[in-house]
Structure 1
Amino acid sequence: MTSTATISSAPDTAKSAPTKTRRPHRSVHGSTASRGSTILITGILIVVAVYFLMPVYWVVVAATKTTQDLFSTNGFWFADDFALFRNLQQVLTYDGGIFVRWFLNSVLYAGVGALLATYFAAAGGYALAKYKFRGREAVFGSILGGVLVPGTAIALPLFLQFSQLGITNTYFSVLLPSLVSPFGLFLCRIYAEATIDDALLEAARIDGAGELRIFHSIGLSVLTPALVTVFLFQLVGIWNNYFLPLVMLSDTNLYPITLGLNNWLSQTNRLPEFYQLTTGGVLLSVIPLAIAMIVLQRFWRGGLTEGAVK
């Protein structure tokens, strides 16, 4: 009886005995190296951020100065005479408010151009991704070749072609070339292949939906992150476009902001007060792009990464 009790109590004793958990051993050398790499990467990112934000900071500071203070004070700090509001008032009222006209022209070129270019890129990318037809890859390759052609190389041929059509020095001469985005079509095709399921399209066809309805109700909704990315790239590209309007336009009332500000800058040698107009105009021209980037940045990040993980 005693031996039986002793044997039966052994498991209970083993159960009640505390078990020691082995903690993973962390190498001091490994943690130090990881901390060092983190500090290095953070430092590099800070340097890059300063590199890109410094010109914006300089524009903000320069817009608060008079022409005299702009050249006689520290370029990266404010002057005693804070002239920001006076400079902006002069920008908005000079020559009958011509800057406002340039601003609205840029909104037209960039806003309408980017919106239509995004739609056309989505339609083309969707078609190349989901429809199989002869010569599909040849069409895609020729369109992709457009990414390698700089815009300055086709500006003069476009001017000669548009002059024969009689649409130079009009809104269409700047707006029509902005409707084409080879990079946007490339991105939309890759994204459509990765995210739009063929079974979903077949189910919509079985339900009796037409191809245009399927594209607008299913394709565009799934492609939304990529469309925002294309829209942002096209918006910034058209807004900052300088060479194409320079070639196409001769009427100052049709100028975008980039061409108008350069026109003011060219007059600074004989009229130094144009420095104030130029710096104030540059500050106002940056604001719409900053707002668009801040509002749409989460969609932009999603458009760049979501298609790669699905």
Structure 2
Amino acid sequence: MSVTDATGPILVTGGTGQLASALAEAADGLKLLRVGRPDFDFDRPDAIHPLLDRTRPSLVINAAAYTAVDRAETDALAAWRANHDGPAALAAWCAAAGVPLIHVSTDYVFDGLKGAPYVETDPTHPCGVYGASKLAGEAAVLATAARAIVLRTSWVYAPRGRNFVLTMLNARAKTDRLRVVADQIGCPTPAGDLAAAILQIARQIRAQPWQEGWNGLYHAAGTGWTSWHGLASAVFEEAARYGMVPPTVEPITTADWPTPVRRPPDSRLDCAKLAATFGISLPPWRSSLAKVIDIAFDISPTTGTKL
């Protein structure tokens, strides 16, 4: 296969998912082509390469993934297809075509026991099928594609879709008391901020020949950190600007809220490598949260409706 025309579109997988949607909104003149089910489906691997051959992208951003952490334990084959087999197929096509690939991964490749922010060279130890399948996907991408950038991120949310922030707002419409885990900490990351960082990388890739130092793993998450309880409390502080009466948010422990898969108690990511290589740092999580809440209430200004 010959190298794809550099004027081709940037192909974004993930259809109407929150990151793919944020990428489309932030494109600002870049020619993006979003693909998703049924045309692009990691459950139909035979259709992946023909679609890429037809669209001839100049860059591929893989924002598609199986992200249901607990359900992955009983739906492991689907999780592995989406998080390993699909990215491996994308990487194989990109390697043959000479096309760069930006692949999005997760903080759940770590067990959260380090006690300090993770750097890219820290040992990995996923706690469940989701994390294991994402880790395998990283390895497949980096082993196959010569021009591959893997971005690990964390606690992604947006003003649309399914995520923790909207879950909190919707829960407030039903109750005035919430119990939220306070002993798990991480870096909340708005999809819009992550999308902006990805597109900054894309612009650098398109503006100059590929640099050997670009290939590899990077951490890309919101600046700063908090707990799930801290994030929930901040959500309601922002929502109060729109007349929402904050509920009582009770801090609880992980043991008080058991789940099929153990979550990393401390999945903070050190993003210094991304800043050093590409000059990119994501904004502070707290200021970005306010902007996301503004958009969420603009979409659904009344509190009794599903945001």
Please indicate the TM-score interval, normalised by the length of the shorter structure. under 0.3
- Tell me which protein shows more strand as a share of its residues: 2
Q: Which structure's CA Rg is the greater one? A: 1
TM-score where L is the length of structure 2: 0.23
- Tell me which protein shows more helix as a share of its residues: 1
> Which fold has the larger relative contact order, with Cα–Cα distance below 8 Å and residues 6 or more apart in sequence?
1
TM-score where L is the length of structure 1: 0.23
